[in-house]
Structure 1
Amino acid sequence: MAESPETSHVVGGVDTHKDLHVAAVVDQYDRVLGTESFPTTRHGYRLMLIWMRSFGDLQRVGIECSGSYGAGLLRYLQAAGIEVLEVVTAPDKQERRRRGKNDDFDAESAAHAAFTERRTVTPRSRDGMVESLRVLRVCRKTAVQARRIALQMIQTTIVCAPDRLREPLRKMTRMQLIRTLAAWRPDLTAFRQVEEAYRISLKSLARRYLELHDEIADLDEMIEAIVKDLAPELLDRTAIGLNSAAQLLLTAGDNPERLKSEASFAALCGVSPVPASSGKTVRHRLNRGGDRAANSAIHIIAIGRLRLDPRTQAYIAKRTAAGNSKLEAIRSLKRYIAREVFGIIMRRYKEINQTQIAACLLEGRPRFAIHQQAPRTGRG
């Protein structure tokens, strides 16, 4: 048990790893009170929380990698009512060169960051439908990659196959080819013969392709259902497809209220203007930071509207006539799209929140807004 500190308010920091988390605690004067390691299990999380609270009133905890190694700890602490901040950048390089690096130092650095509330952001909660959407999209992405590899292997194998096998396959469409190969019945006992080995290989690759094709179709149905539950209005807007809508929902997260404004969302998506002025020249350039997947989704929407939407075409023509380049005009367009998307997501989030609160009241359960952290009470 830790010794009783002089002060009652403490802040924690955690350096996360696969098997062990290293925790540190600082007091209200940002002095390190102790460091300790805990296993990455629910029992380990409970011991860590007890250990941190033994130093005093735990105000908040800073966690590194809350989206990967620290995801389980994040959910546990949030369920326990602890304010959690994500430490997003590495500590000062000069300080690291001076002190060196180990897990204790990293945990202490996370605690110092949580104490000063610098180099920190409110983490995305990972206990709602957006997290379900993320997991399904990751699964779909790997299935698409595997399907593409299977198709490439089929095409490569056919190129090298004996003429008697290759000739009948030349003029087939992709799916005709795949289904023909999958329907082959090679002699499995003759695998030592070259032609039969090619037949066995091509049939196996074709069956793999079809299985992955069906798996992707099933995942697409689930993803579409979640997107329609979360923000059906997104899919009704011009040039916003299923994949773009899903990515923008992932970027906003289950708790989009952590973003202070639509400008914060635009910066997160990498579409906020970056000043590039000099002298009498006043201009802005593209933002190369932010979530590049979200930036790509917004760019696809912008290009789609530029082709299909008369209002967008008129806007781009107006900006280019005013002296902007086409890229600068598209940058401005992407900023407006981010504003539109954020408004839709926030309106839908409030509707879902109010519906869940009403359901809690009808069932006689406590009235808690979903994914709402306790308000900050100041440092220390």
Structure 2
Amino acid sequence: MTSMTLDPPLTNPLPPGSELVAGVDTHKNTHHVAILDLVGRPVADREFRADGRGYAQIVAFLHAHGDVVRIGVEGTGSYGAGLARALTTAGLTVIEVARQDRQARRRRGKSDPLDAHQAAVAVLAGTDTAIPKSGDGAVESMRIPLAERRSAAKARAQVMNQIHALLITAPELVRQAFRALSGQRLVNTLAKTRPGTITSADPAVVARQTLRRFAVRHLTMQAEIDLIEQQLEMLVRQVNPTLLSLSGVGPVTAATLLVAAGDNPERLGSDADDIAAVLHYRVERATARPAGSGRTRKPARLIAGLIPSAHGVIDVEMRAALDEREELIEARADAVLEAALTESTPWTNALGVAPTDRRRAATWRKAARVVAAYRDRHRVTDEAALGAPPESAAQKIDAARARAALRQATDIATAPSGTRPQVRAELQSRRL
């Protein structure tokens, strides 16, 4: 099935000195440029190569037709990134234009000249436009290792899933040897095993060999992630160390928020002189709990049982940053709890012993993770599970949530086997 399209006229002579706008449809190998006057009449359009030489030709093409006041570029974060930087360097004003939705494309047709024409029309109308990220400073340097860390974290999680999957189907002797281990302790133990030579055809030996290779891969990914996070922390401290003082914001979250803002934070609004304050305000606004009608009170969804999660309508970049922040906080809480259990630190005695039943153990661990997150967030170092009495109002709220989780963990650990303690009803009665 084909769609009919009508390309705009190639030229439309204008008086000298007339102001113009342009639109660019970007692709991997070519860019198509369309120039319009301020009432939307086509002036010229042409296709160029998507490389340094082509960028110079585009700049010359725009200057040759008059005073181009604004240029709408599609995909300034992907195929149009190099062109946007070249146009900005040439002193031209670049506007980021969103690609048309499918409904509009079905209605108007699809071709490179039409897409470039529509990008210029969007600039004229001021619809679906934004100030693009400059992508030429230290924040751009954060974006690159952030993408690298994201792929390494996915690979690490995939390896852990493969370890668990193999242990489910492995011979019974292998399963029995590692049944009581989990998390980082399981990985460290597997990496230290000596399963024998690769010439063996015994399934148990082959399973142990594969498990060891999985564990070594997991440790390699973890070492890579640790190195990336060190680099990100140095970059964040160079650009805006104030972000690291915000609650629940570490190097990775700070870098993610800065990347969402870009190297030119003025694109966020007129009051963006202090980028840390602006980002802090936007995070607080995204996680603030809206006032209800008074008839119902739906509990807020909490990250690690403590921190309100984002909700409502949020722009795409901020949503991605907040989602990654949530994943990092959850992973951090899991790591703190795992380390405390592995080292048998004194405060874990208050949690009781984890039950052997899988479902009850999962509930116990979830409650224990809230306590671990509280200790980590408020830097509690006492042997008591919750440390000294809280001082600030915010810590008092967190302490109440952690106290309820501690009671839940204790109830589960001390309940007779085969029974389910009525923890949920108790927690609902204590909910703030």
Q: State percent identity of aligned pairs.
A: 34
Whether 1:44 and 2:54 are equivalent positions in the alignment is yes
**Map of 1:135 onto structure 2:** 144
Indicate the residue corresponding to 1:310 in structure 2: 392
Question: Is the 8 Å Cα contact of residues 227 and 246 (structure 1) preserved in structure 2?
Answer: yes
Aligned pairs for 1:1-380 within 5 A: 5-8=14-17, 9-88=19-98, 90=100, 93=103, 96-190=105-199, 192-262=201-271, 271=286, 287-290=312-315, 291-296=318-323, 310-312=392-394
The residue identity in structure 2 corresponding to 1:182 is A
Asked which structure has the greater CA Rg, the reply is 2
Cα drift, residue 24 of structure 1: 0.9
How far apart in 2 are the matches of 1:103 and 1:270?
40
Summarize the Cα distance change of 1:188–1:12 in structure 2 as closer, same or farther, 3 Å threshold.
farther
TM-score scaled by length of structure 1 = 0.69
Partners of 2:155 and 2:111 in 1: how far apart? Answer: 38
Distance in 1, Cα, partners of 2:59 & 2:283? 31
User: Structure 1 residue 277: deviation in Å?
Assistant: 11
Aligned CA RMSD, in angstroms, stands at 3.7
Question: Are the structure 2 counterparts of residues 220 and 163 from structure 1 closer, same or farther at C-alpha, using a change threshold of 3 Å?
Answer: same
* AA partner of residue 293 (structure 1): A
How far off its partner does 1:270 sit?
A: 7.0
> In the TM superposition, what is the alpha-carbon distance from 1:16 to its structure 2 partner?
1.3
The one of the two structures with greater contact order (alpha-carbon pairs below 8 A, sep at least 6) is 1
Q: CA deviation at 1:128?
A: 0.9
CA drift of 1:59 comes to: 1.8
Provide the rounded CA distance (Å) in 1 between the counterparts of 2:253 and 2:391: 17
Note the alpha carbon deviations across 1:43-94, whole angstroms, 9 max, x for none.
Answer: 1212222222222222221011111121111111111111100013527956
Name the CA distance, whole Å, in 1 between partners of 2:221 and 2:56.
41
Distance 1:220 1:105, change over 3 A: same
- Distance in 2, matches of 1:193 and 1:170, equals 20
Deviation at 1:101, TM superposition (A): 2.0
TM superposition score normalised by structure 2: 0.61
Sort the Cα spacing of 1:268 and 1:194 in 2 relative to 1 into closer, same or farther, 3 A.
closer
